[in-house]
Structure 1
Amino acid sequence: MNEWHWIGLNDLETEGRWVWVNNQTLDDTKVKFWHKIQFGKSEPDNWTGVDPSGEDCAVVKNDLDSLDSWLDVSCKRTYKFICEKKF
């Protein structure tokens, strides 16, 4: 995976309350891979430098410290996405 991908997670309704596309909260699933940085604020940081409304959607990016690092980004950006599949 050489690009950023949407992972179906957002905090659009309530800042800081992350919800999957199936309406399950991040707290319910206990799965968190937010990117941590040594200095400053780790993800999610709701940065408003590019989009004044903040960052309310999550992506996975593989060029950080680890392959499972999530970032919050503006939902207005265009990326490929990873979808959920039931077997």
Structure 2
Amino acid sequence: MNAKDSTTNMYIVVAPENEPVKSFMVLLDGFGNSPQNVLFQTDIPKYASQQGILTIIPLLKTGPSYFGSDTASQQSLKEIINLVVTT
């Protein structure tokens, strides 16, 4: 992850505040928006956090127009998940 580049290979995490994490989910935007915009479009991460679910909203290193179906996107998604799970 490059802290100076918010156009690819980054993510936002919405974590439960008042209870331990029970599980996590990945929320991929289907319209090429940034993870920040996803938070304006849906309340799913907020609702999930109230249920003990950590939400990862990634922007893959392949860019916002990829949906995670190609090999490079899958590798990027795996790296992001591993980073979140191990921190």
TM range (shorter): under 0.3
TM-score normalised by the chain length of structure 1: 0.25
TM-score normalised by the chain length of structure 2: 0.25
- Higher helix proportion (structure 1 or 2): 2
